[in-house]
Structure 1
Amino acid sequence: MFHFSNLVRSKGDPKIIATGPSSLTAADRLARGLGWFSIALGTLELLAPHRVTRALGMEGREGLVRAYGVRELLTGVMTLSVEKKAGLWSRVAGDGLDMATLLGEVRPSNPRVGTVMAALVMVGGITVLDYLAAQDVARQHDARRGRKRLYFDRSGFPKGVTAARGAAALPRPTSTPAAT
């Protein structure tokens, strides 16, 4: 079987023949996908705000769309980092901001109100994914999640306190070293 990672290996490195199961949970994989989605959307909003505003009937609000693009990029990077919990909750908050902005564009004078409604449905669906991922990652990394370990009945001596006392009471050798 061909693996792309073999292309970048040095001559002496062992070749990858097969890969095993991933240590990433479903929540981690969802968080990763949402992080990359956020980076892609943020790039679009930052580099092509005119297309976004034209599609939604929001001409003249390109600066706002660019600011939302920067926010998307930052939350995407955070979601891909070790701070994925904070990144996902930032995405949830950003989704609320996006929905509030889109709701302001649902008005009779907007010729693209149908597109805005479709965008609201999409943002709503993504918000559900963001919320579920944030909940799962928070639960997965919760220190209180596991069973508490109580050590009140342990001494710290592998063979017990009695054996340790017995070892300490052994007589010492009385031989003296020979003088040279």
Structure 2
Amino acid sequence: MAFLSDMTRSKGDPKVLRSGPSSFSSFDRLARNLGWFSIALGFAEIFAAERITSALGMRGRENLVRAYGVREIGAGFMTLSVNKQAGLASRIAGDALDIATLGTAMRPDNPKRETVGVALAIVACITLLDIMATSATTRRHTRYEGHARYGDRSGFPKGIEASRRDAARKELADLRSTPGSASSTSRKPAGAGDE
């Protein structure tokens, strides 16, 4: 990945020697995968609505399936965005709609009830994953009122004033060691000759 990253950088930018550990948790990865799954499912629902309704014994509801596909794509993009909690919440709401819609297909006169039952089980499993990802990412990415993320750390272990004194000392030492500065040239005492 560092090679690909270096290819897109300007000539003056520093090169990436090695990438560090990822800050993604396993639930962040799950959320990302659910986002991509949502987009793929949405396209399937839009372009294969007739096959889906035929397999579930729901002929005549193709436009509803296509609308659900558009919803899935929107939820997928939100889940992949910075505001993944909103995307995951919309996925859970969409799962509830899917379960309710599939529930209407469980009528006794539907010859595809077994297929609908399998689809309901799959949607229930995905809903469980959505709930797990939502609760985990919300816990991880939510700031609570009065809760400091880093406590009282300032980045200056000895305090700001001590850091300023150290910086002033270093600057003075640098000035003294600079060639040609008045303090760095050694002067011979008056009247001393070369021997």
**Under TM normalisation by the shorter chain, which class is it?**
0.7 to 0.9
**Is this contact kept in 2: 1:49–1:62, CA < 8 A?**
yes
**Is this contact kept in 1: 2:2–2:19, CA < 8 A?**
no
CA distance in 1, matches of 2:143, 2:95: 28
CA distance in 2, matches of 1:71, 1:91: 9
- Secondary structure of the residue aligned to 2:59 is coil
* Distance of aligned partners of 1:7 and 1:58 in 2 relative to their CA distance in 1, 3 Å threshold: farther
Match for residue 134 of structure 1? 134
1:120-161 Cα deviation digits (max 9, x unpaired): 0000000000011011111111111884458xxxxxx955xx
CA distance in 2, matches of 1:119, 1:4: 43
CA distance in 2, matches of 1:31, 1:40: 14
Match for residue 62 of structure 2? 62
What amino acid is the match of 1:136? Answer: A
What amino acid is the match of 1:5? Answer: L
Does the alignment pair 1:83 with 2:83? yes
- Secondary structure of the residue aligned to 1:78 is helix
CA distance in 1, matches of 2:138, 2:99: 24
Q: How high is the sequence identity, in percent, across the aligned residues? A: 52
The 5 A counterparts of 1:12-161 are: 19-144=19-144, 147-148=147-148, 149=151, 158=160
* Distance of aligned partners of 1:80 and 1:60 in 2 relative to their CA distance in 1, 3 Å threshold: same
- Secondary structure of the residue aligned to 1:21 is coil
**Is this contact kept in 1: 2:6–2:15, CA < 8 A?**
no
CA distance in 2, matches of 1:93, 1:38: 13
**Is this contact kept in 2: 1:79–1:88, CA < 8 A?**
yes
What do you get for the CA RMSD once the two structures are aligned? 2.9
Match for residue 165 of structure 2? none
CA distance in 2, matches of 1:82, 1:36: 14
The structure with the largest alpha-carbon Rg is 2
* Distance of aligned partners of 1:7 and 1:53 in 2 relative to their CA distance in 1, 3 Å threshold: farther
CA distance in 1, matches of 2:39, 2:123: 15
CA distance in 1, matches of 2:5, 2:30: 27
What amino acid is the match of 1:141? Answer: H
Match for residue 5 of structure 1? 4
**Is this contact kept in 2: 1:139–1:145, CA < 8 A?**
no
**Matched residue count:** 153
The runs of 5 or more residues in structure 1 that have no matched partner are: 151-156, 160-180
1:73-109 Cα deviation digits (max 9, x unpaired): 0000000011100000000010000000001100121
CA distance in 2, matches of 1:111, 1:145: 55
- Structure 1 runs of 4+ with >6 Å offset: 13-17
What amino acid is the match of 1:99? Answer: I
CA distance in 2, matches of 1:15, 1:109: 66
The runs of 5 or more residues in structure 2 that have no matched partner are: 153-158, 162-195
What amino acid is the match of 1:127? Answer: T
